[in-house]
Structure 1
């Protein structure tokens, strides 16, 4: 095996993180041909294929996954060396991909996008607000907000915030059909809920705590769609307090009887935690939570 070139490793990391050559080219502000050439040179130096290509993008081979860990350690040491030699004051630049649950991303991160850009104009934040779990070890994201503490992988995790889920209905629905006296009456009312078989996060399975057997009139794994359906007057739904309280069409119902508490965990791969642009996003998330703490 030939001596590895750090520049080639840098291009390989961009491909691994972006999921394709085109995404890597955008991150590095070069053309796709340059990325392909650098990757080919690295594979030739190692003597092994690092990625498998398909119409859906690229996936890392076993050798590629092993190389990512070493390349990220080299990247972290390079950044640490630059900081020690006085280069730390340079403006942050690059791309950070943040994966979050939908409500967290749309309700907390997106409204702070301008503030983030004003503070870090050289950083591009990629927000992936989905219900499914992401694999940080496979570099599906740089940072993830999870509903539980991860138990596998070389991950650094800390509890970011607790939040409240409550039962809501629209003012129009309550005026037309009357108030709900107790949770025992909920099975006789229409309920908006998740598509059970498509939930892969255990913390979202709490129907039995609300009204087991209640008729569901509308199902969606998008919490934003659920909130919109409840606000339209369809029936009741369990929504995030920090999002639903900002919608004047919605009223919280039986807050003393139903007050679900869940937690957001901030997770990052151990090799990523020292990278300044990643740390900047982590710190900014903490600032968002501090500013919105009373709403959660």
Structure 2
């Protein structure tokens, strides 16, 4: 019989990449992890990790086991949540990974309503420029800019949104308002550091105005917004954020715009957990309320 605690330790080593980090994550001694992994290997009759002074390397047997171990882990979590949910309200921690602008303008302003509805539920919001790894449990739910590769994931489109050209009022008073595409040739722009953009979809300037003269780059959409609002130049900003900023003016609205999509992604084994369902319902409600701004 396989031991569920040993499987939990095995998954921690796979996700963290070494036994020491797995031990820290689970709050146990390194020797305990090593001993329990050896016990699991004995029960399976197969070596799961090749040991060396540099650490451990998963064997083919480990990669074959990981999907089964994750299903067992998820079933145990679902069973505990289902039984506990019969006697008390939704509780626990849900980690949500989203792009920065989505986190700042769509999630954070509304978390008080989620807390009022589920006082024992804690939302952890990770605003990142890269895609979180759901298989490594970096997040329970992710909002991404494109569907992930196929896997044991549940994916659906959450919403479409617009990006447009914006500049500060004082910048336009100084440099003039572009009213035709050719007028953009005499302006400077703000954009992303391309190699630090986690999704190609984050970079829209090349699609709107190829060959733009870029005077400032940042890995953060918030930093770009702040630079544009301060009069640095013209930038491609999220309409749902920039339209609320009285310092900004949209340039050629309806013409110089691109559409993007937000995708909701979660691990298939987590979608039935009450705490995860509560967070997903919250996101759906926010999207319905914010649809006119998108």
TM-score by length of 1: 0.82
The equivalent residue for 2:44 is none
Cα displacement (A) at 1:196: 2.2
CA RMSD, Structure 1 to Structure 2 (Å): 3.2
Instruction: Measure the CA separation in 2 of the matches of 1:6 and 1:60.
Output: 22
Confirm or deny: 8 A CA contact 2:163 2:257 kept in the other structure. yes
Q: What does 1:1-296 correspond to in 2, within 5 Å? A: 3-10=1-8, 20-21=21-22, 24-25=25-26, 32-33=27-28, 39-40=33-34, 42-47=36-41, 61=58, 66-81=64-79, 87-296=85-294
Give the Å deviation of 1:104: 0.8
**Per-residue CA shift, 1:29-80, capped at 9, x if unaligned?**
xxx237x57644541331256799x9xxx99845666555333322433355
| 1:235 Cα offset (Å) | 1.1
3-state SS, counterpart of residue 111 of structure 1: helix
Q: Distance in 2 between matches of 1:294 and 1:59?
A: 51
Distance 1:185 1:105, change over 3 A: same
1:16 and 1:139 in contact (8 A); partners too:
no
Q: Secondary structure at the match of 1:33?
A: coil
Q: Offset at 1:147?
A: 0.9
1:268 Cα shift?
1.1
For the Cα contact (< 8 Å) 1:4–1:42, is it kept in 2? no
Q: Distance in 2 between matches of 1:206 and 1:159?
A: 20
CA distance in structure 1 between the partners assigned to 2:206 and 2:72 by the alignment: 49
Partners in 2 of 1:24 and 1:204 — Cα distance?
32
Shift of 1:270: 1.4
Cα shift at 1:225: 0.4
For structure 1, the 5+ residue unaligned runs are 26-31
Provide the C-alpha distance between the structure 1 equivalents of 2:129 and 2:237, rounded to a whole number of angstroms. 14
| Structure 2 residue ranges without an equivalent (≥5) | 42-46
1:8–1:38 CA contact under 8 A, matched in 2: no
Cα drift, residue 112 of structure 1? 2.0
